[in-house]
């Protein structure tokens, strides 16, 4: 394992690796993007719950927790994984999210056709997730780590679309809420994982 991979696995053990300037710049850029998208994800969630109506926006609202096959939120054990594996999982989740966000947008176009801001935010989120995922994969490739492990099953998006269309409207609203929540969780997690790579930001 190269020195770089060694430091990626355990960035806290030794002094930070002296990355090439362009790689440093790419890491900073990707980290900044993740930080920005974390804020956008919060705004998307706020807009989403507002358009679905109460109780979606009320404190303490906790619908049944749904998991989508192939994509769930970051596990509690995520932080214990090697950094390279964490970033791989981040990239995999970001790769799955655009399809899910698109499915939610299509459903919301039927439920909230007069809410252009929500629809635009969902479309933007899909694009942003894709961009961040590609950026993380680029960083991983530059660091000599494989970009992706076993990726999310494409059928997850198909299943969501099928279920979305067949489900009652309340269920569709709940599904969309979970997807928006997952988006926020994963961009936030990605930001946290990348922060450990940013030169000078290593704890």
Partner 1 sequence: MPAGRPGPAAQSARRPPRPLSSLWSPLLLCVLGVPRGGSGAHTAVISPQDPTLLIGSSLQATCSIHGDTPGATAEGLYWTLNGRRLPSELSHLLNTSTLALALANLNGSRQQSGDNLVCHAQDGSILAGSCLYVGLPPEKPFNISCWSRNMKDLTCRWTPGTRGETFLHTNYSLKYKLRWYGQDNTCEEYHTVGPHSCHIPKDLALFTPYEIWVEATNRLGSARSDVLTLDVLDVVTTDPPPDVHVSRVGGLEDQLSVRWVSPPALKDFLFQAKYQIRYRVEDSVDWKVVDDVSNQTSCRLAGLKPGTVYFVQVRCNPFGIYGSKKAGIWSEWSHPTAASTPRSERPGPGGGVCEPRGGEPSSGPVRRELKQFLGWLKKHAYCSNLSFRLYDQWRAWMQKSHKTRNQHRTRGSCPRADGARREVLPDKL
Distance between first and last Cα of the chain: 23
Distance in Å, CB of 149 to partner 1, minimum? 20
Instruction: List contacts with partner 1 (CB under 8 A).
Output: 51-56, 58, 61-69, 111-115, 155-156, 159, 162-163, 166-171, 173-174
Q: Which is nearer to partner 1, 74 or 192 (CB)?
A: 74
Rg (CA), the chain: 18
Phi-psi region of 36 (alpha: psi -120 to 50; beta: other; left: phi over 0): alpha
Distance in Å, CB of 187 to partner 1, minimum? 22
Q: Which is nearer to partner 1, 51 or 89 (CB)?
A: 51
Distance in Å, CB of 114 to partner 1, minimum? 6
Q: Which is nearer to partner 1, 65 or 120 (CB)?
A: 65
Which residue, among 78, 83, 87, 89, has the nearest Cα to 11 in the 3D structure? 83
Q: Which is nearer to partner 1, 128 or 157 (CB)?
A: 157
Write out the two tokens for 117.
Answer: 């801001």
Q: What is the 3-state secondary structure (H, E, C) of 108-176?
A: HHHHCCCCHHHHHHHHHHHHHHHHHHHHHHHHHHHCCCCCCCCCCCCHHHHHHHHHHHHCCHHHHHHHH
Q: Which is nearer to partner 1, 150 or 200 (CB)?
A: 150
Distance in Å, CB of 56 to partner 1, minimum? 7
Which residue, among 100, 123, 110, has the nearest Cα to 47 in the 3D structure? 123
Q: Which is nearer to partner 1, 119 or 143 (CB)?
A: 119
**CA–CA separation, 114 vs 93, rounded Å?**
30
* Interhelix angle 155-166/83-111, nearest 10 degrees: 30
Distance in Å, CB of 130 to partner 1, minimum? 23
Distance in Å, CB of 75 to partner 1, minimum? 14
């Amino acid at each position: 394992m190269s020195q770089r991979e060694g430091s990626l696995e355990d960035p806290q053990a030794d002094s930070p690796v002296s990355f090439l300037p362009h790689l440093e710049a790419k890491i900073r850029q990707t980290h900044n993007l993740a930080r920005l998208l974390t804020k956008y994800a919060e705004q998307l969630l706020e807009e989403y719950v507002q358009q679905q109506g109460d109780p979606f926006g009320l404190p303490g609202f906790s619908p049944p927790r749904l998991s989508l096959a192939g994509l769930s939120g970051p596990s509690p054990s995520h932080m214990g994984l090697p950094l390279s594996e964490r970033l791989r999982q981040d990239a995999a989740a970001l790769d799955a999210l655009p399809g899910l966000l698109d499915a939610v947008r299509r459903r919301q176009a039927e439920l909230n056709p007069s809410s252009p801001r929500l629809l635009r935010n969902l479309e933007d989120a899909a694009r942003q997730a894709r961009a961040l995922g590609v950026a993380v994969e680029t960083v991983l490739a530059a660091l000599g780590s494989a970009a992706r492990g076993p990726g999310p099953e494409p059928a997850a998006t198909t299943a969501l679309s099928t279920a979305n269309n067949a489900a009652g409207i309340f269920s569709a609203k709940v599904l969309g809420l979970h997807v928006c929540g997952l988006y926020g969780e994963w961009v936030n997690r990605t930001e946290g994982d990348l922060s450990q790579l940013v030169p000078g930001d290593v704890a």
